[in-house]
Amino acid sequence: MWRFCCKSLEEMSFHGVKFSVNLTRMNKEQVIQTRDDIINAALPNVVFDGWRWDMVENAAIQAGFDPNIASAVFPDKMLDVLSAFSDMADRGMLELLAGQNPEDMRVRDRIRAGVMARFTYLQPQREAVRETLGFWAVPTRKPRAAKIVWRSADHIWNWAGDDAKDYNRYTKRGLLSGILVSTMLVWIDDDSPDLRVTQEFLDRRIDNVLFVGQTLGRFMKGFKKAS
């Protein structure tokens, strides 16, 4: 028996499968939710199939959508899929940080909390992240990957209360991007209790970066005075 009903996404449903009628009327929140639904359906298969477009289309069907909706919400295909996966991790990270007050922490502890919250969120999907690293390792994809890492660093600094508008904004986020990448390469193979190896590596990287940042700050102040 055919049963169609109107949805907020301007779609019709037949036996639980959603067929979009007018995707142009999807608002930002609906697009994000649709992406999340498809990615969540895809994640269990990534370990076996890797990140492949046909797998994402199948995941759309598993999530209750017509496979054509995958192309609508991921127009750049796998580039958009993995960007959305990172965005989902950023939002999950911020949810985990919601119970902490950054004003009660030192700056280094704020950064540490942000980075570890991201890894905590991603821990159940570590093998999917491993596949993601392989995807972004292709040279032609690295510029897009750099923008995605920058976005994560920006979220962490914004949560930490940084509102710098000068060169410090770009310096801080650039340095934190390096921390995120190098620490992720440790985390991906870390089987120590409570991710102790990752945390110790992260602490050392933060120490190094803070020293570089302070040195650069003194240099820029001296440069401005000289000019």
pLDDT digits (tens, 9 = 90+) for 93-124: 999 999 899 999 999 999 999 999 999 999 99
| Residue 61 shares a structural domain with residue 104 | no
| Residue 24 shares a structural domain with residue 101 | no
| Residue 49 shares a structural domain with residue 25 | yes
| Residue 165 shares a structural domain with residue 89 | yes
Task: Look up residue 201 and give its two tokens.
Answer: 């590596």
Whether residue 223 has pLDDT greater than 80: no
The identity of residue 113, as a single letter, is A
| Residue 58 shares a structural domain with residue 98 | no
| Residue 120 shares a structural domain with residue 170 | yes
Relative to beta strand 17-20, strand 11-14 is: antiparallel
| Residue 69 shares a structural domain with residue 84 | no
| Residue 98 shares a structural domain with residue 3 | no
Q: Which domain covers residue 197, as residue numbers? A: 76-227
**Cα separation of 180 and 116, whole Å?**
10
| Residue 30 shares a structural domain with residue 84 | no
Q: What is the dihedral of CA 109, 110, 112, 117, to 10 degrees?
A: 140
End residue of a domain, out of 49, 75, 101: 75
Please tell me the predicted confidence (pLDDT) of residue 179: 96
End residue of a domain, out of 75, 101, 120: 75
Q: What is the pTM of this model?
A: 0.84
148: Cβ–Cβ under 8 A, 6 or more apart, which residues?
82, 83, 86
Q: Which whole-number Å values give the CA distances from 127 to 17, 25, 29, 43, 226, in the listed order?
A: 29, 35, 28, 9, 51
| Residue 151 shares a structural domain with residue 226 | yes
The domain total for the chain is 2
Mean pLDDT along residues 145-172: 93
- Phi and psi for 65 in degrees, rounded to 5? -110, 160
| Residue 91 shares a structural domain with residue 171 | yes
| Residue 120 shares a structural domain with residue 205 | yes
End residue of a domain, out of 25, 50, 75: 75
pLDDT digits (tens, 9 = 90+) for 76-100: 999 999 999 999 999 999 999 998 9
Task: Look up residue 59 and give its two tokens.
Answer: 């995941």
**Cα separation of 122 and 76, whole Å?**
23
**Cα separation of 151 and 47, whole Å?**
26
